[in-house]
Amino acid sequence: MRIAVVILNWNGKGLLESYLPSVVEYSGQADIYVADNNSSDDSVAFIKANYPSIKIIQNSENGGFAKGYNDALKYIEADIYCLLNSDVEVTPNWLEPIKEAFLEIPNVSILQPKILDLKKKDHFEYAGAAGGFIDQLGYPFCRGRIFQALEKDEGQYDDVQEIFWATGACMFIRSQVFHELGGFDEDYFAHQEEVDLCWRAKNAGHKAYYIGLSKVYHLGGSTLSNMNPKKTFLNFRNSLFSITKNLPRRKASIIIFLRLILDAVAAIRFVFQFKFSHFFAILKAHLSFYRHFGKMYRKREKANFILNYYAKKSIVWSHFVHQENVFKV
């Protein structure tokens, strides 16, 4: 099984200096690539000077996460792609449980390891934690992370579990499946494109799993912090994109209507918190969604849509009304 660890980089020399050493040290059985999104710093020169064994793919522009990976992976031959953020520290033997899972689990096409917080190593990290799910209204959440509530890692997720989506911070995917699905949707630019990719994979009959015996540490927020208004814009808009593309027409219409109401509540909540930039980010997200609606609708999958996609009816209700801060189904 040939694994290619592919790190997308844009002006991230500092991150590469900090986190490439662990990847090189603990990934001896994999080929390592850096896909550079037309950086203006000296990232590429740093890699060439210090890590001559790492293969470099230089993209012609900064097309974001989605286009950056789509462009680079066309030139990489491997059975498995590991899409790894540049701010991830890997651990000894992190690849072994992943390889075993690909060999042993039927119909598995996508995997993710345990994602822990690099700054607080006994807690799960926001981007992926112990595997991703969505609720009936399309809001994503994770085992180990409900909105901003992060669980302490006490071994409660040291398991192998089928999940709905795997984080783009560290996602393993069969190369054939990635290309059959057409890669990431480049209209997302960044954020939640991995949810859409996994949803499309699920509709096509593929499975995603979390492997708790493999773990990595993620710094997080190195591109956009959780409280950056641009991230708010992308998360709200791209979630609506995924609903439009991946659900039957009637169900998608109902959910989008309900999301309009709930997203308005979220926007008003930001006003009361004096976070006016986030209020406008949600407004812009909906305006952008409606502007792109026709294009997204035309991208809808031809395959049968799955109806058992959600793990909870409403994670919003569970968290904000019932005060649930840990994963329950």
Examine the fold and report which residue of 218, 247, 263 is the final residue of a domain before the chain moves on.
Answer: 218
Shared domain for 255 and 158, answered yes or no, is no
Shared domain for 156 and 292, answered yes or no, is no
Q: 229-246 and 276-298 helices cross at what angle (nearest 10)?
A: 30
Evaluate whether residue 22 is within a structural domain: yes
Evaluate whether residue 223 is within a structural domain: no
Evaluate whether residue 328 is within a structural domain: no
Evaluate whether residue 167 is within a structural domain: yes
Shared domain for 154 and 39, answered yes or no, is yes
Shared domain for 249 and 207, answered yes or no, is no
The CA-atom distances, in angstroms, between 51 and each of 56, 155, 188 are 10, 35, 32
- The burial of 329, by beta-carbon neighbours within 10 Å (0-12 exposed, 13-18 middle, 19 or more buried), is given as exposed
User: What gap in Å lies between CA 70 and CA 242, rounded to an integer?
Assistant: 18
Shared domain for 22 and 161, answered yes or no, is yes
| Its pTM surpasses 0.75 | yes
Of the CA atoms within 13 Å of residue 318, those in its CB half-sphere come to 20
What digits encode the pLDDT tens for the residues 105-160?
Answer: 999 999 999 999 999 999 999 999 999 999 999 999 999 999 999 999 999 999 99
Residues in contact with 192: Cβ distance below 8 Å, sequence separation at least 6, in sequence order: 140, 234, 235, 238, 239, 241, 242
What digits encode the pLDDT tens for the residues 77-108?
Answer: 999 999 999 999 999 999 999 999 999 999 99
pLDDT level of residue 226 (50, 70, 90 thresholds): low
Domain that holds residue 214: 3-218
Shared domain for 149 and 239, answered yes or no, is no
Q: pLDDT: is 118 or 223 the higher one?
A: 118
User: What gap in Å lies between CA 133 and CA 179, rounded to an integer?
Assistant: 23
